[in-house]
Amino acid sequence: MNPKEANAWRDMAVSYGQMFFQTKDIALLHKSIDALKTCVKLDPQNALGYGGLVGAYAYFVQKDSARKYLAIADRLNPSAVNPEVRKTVTE
């Protein structure tokens, strides 16, 4: 894996997220968030990376963090956030 490739970090985050949903091991969700943060650090224009952070923080019910990343994702690409996650964060 190229450690400077933002999309590779995003893909890793998706894998961790899928494993989390299967196992409910919270450590995997934390790994997903860490990978997503690396993704957006490497590519601050990566709307899907921010969209992933919205979903992860929405799961934690950390709406302040979720809203922060939602605003960034919306500025870059409003379709980057799943509509169901968006509804959870904006309610």
43-85: pLDDT as tens digits = 999 999 999 999 999 887 778 999 999 999 999 999 999 999 9
Q: Rounded distance, CA 34 to CA 39, Å? A: 9
Using CA atoms, how far residue 24 sits from 5, 16, 34, 69, 88, in Å, is: 28, 11, 17, 23, 19
Instruction: Give the distance, in angstroms, between the CA of residue 47 and the centroid of all CA atoms in the same chain.
Output: 9
Tell me the average pLDDT of the chain: 93
Within-domain flag for 75: yes
Within-domain flag for 58: yes
- 91 has pLDDT over 90: no
Within-domain flag for 64: yes
Question: Domain tally for the chain?
Answer: 1
pTM of the model: 0.85
Residue 26 belongs to domain with CATH number: 1.25.40.10
Domain assignment of residue 13, given as a range: 6-90
The total of other beta-carbon atoms located within 10 Å of residue 31's CB is 18
Within-domain flag for 1: no
pLDDT recorded at residue 48:
95
Q: Rounded distance, CA 60 to CA 58, Å? A: 5
